[in-house]
Structure 1
Amino acid sequence: MGTLTISISDDVEKRLRDVVKEKHGSSKGAMSKVIEEALKIYFSILEKKKKVFRAYRGEELVAEAHDLEELAKILREKNVDPRSVKIVSSEHIKPVARMGWKYVR
C-alpha cells in the first residue's frame, strides 16, 4: 500500500471531509477508503473513454480495434472485405466538412 501527500483547495477538502463523515463516520481509514473508491471510479471512466472501432457483419462482431488501421489489419488477416462489414465507433465521429471552390478544367 502506497502513501501519497497531496494538496487540494480548502473547499474540496471540506466537501471531502463531509462525504467521508456521511459515508463512514469517523472510523479509521475512512478518508483513504473514500479517496480510493473515487479514484477507481475515475479510472474506470477514463477506460470507457478510449475509442474502440467494431466491425459487424449482420449481428455478428467480426473484429474490434482501437484505431482504424489496426481494424483494417485484423480484417485483412481474417480475409474479410472491409466493404462487407459495418464499422461502428464507440465515440461519435464528427463529419469532415469541406468548403470552398471546386476547380474543374
Structure 2
Amino acid sequence: MFAMGTITVNVSDETEKMFREAVKQNIGIGKGVLGKAIGEAMNMWAEEKEREERRRKAIERLEKGFDLGNFSYKNREELYGDRFKKWDKK
C-alpha cells in the first residue's frame, strides 16, 4: 500500500458544485471518486505547468540563437567542389 497525503482547500460553493457534478457525470458516485478526480486534476495541472515551462525555455533558447561557428564559404561549390555540379544543371 502507498501513503496518501491530505490537503484541505477552500473553494467557492459554485466551484465545488460544478466539480462534484462533473465528477458524478464522468466517474460516477462512490467512495473515493472525489479524491480520485481531484488527484487527476492536480496531476494534469502540474503536467501542464511543466509543459509551459519547457516551452518557455525552448522559446528562450531559440530567441537567443545558436552559435554555428563562422561559415567561410559563399556558395555550395566552394563547400563541396565539383561533386554536386551535376545537380545544379537542372
With structure 2 as the length reference, what TM-score do the two structures score? Answer: 0.58
Select the structure that is richer in strand.
1
Q: Structure 1: any 5+ residue segments left out of the alignment?
A: 55-66, 73-80, 85-105
Larger relative contact order (C-alpha < 8 A, sep ≥ 6)? Answer: 1
In the alignment of these two chains, the number of paired residues is 62
Q: Percent identity?
A: 31
Distance 1:53 1:38 in 2: 26
Structure 2 gaps of 5+ residues are 70-90
Matched, 1:23 2:26: yes
Aligned partner (choices 27, 32, 35) of residue 32 of structure 1: 35
Query: Residues of 1 paired with 2:30 and 2:20: CA distance?
Result: 12
Mark the structure with the bigger radius of gyration: 2
The CA deviation at 1:25 is: 1.8
**2:37 matched to 1:52?**
no
Amino acid at match of 1:48: R
Residues 89-100 of structure 1 mapped to structure 2, 5 A cutoff? none
Normalised by the length of structure 1, the TM-score is 0.50
Q: Which runs of 4+ in 1 moved over 2 A?
A: 51-54
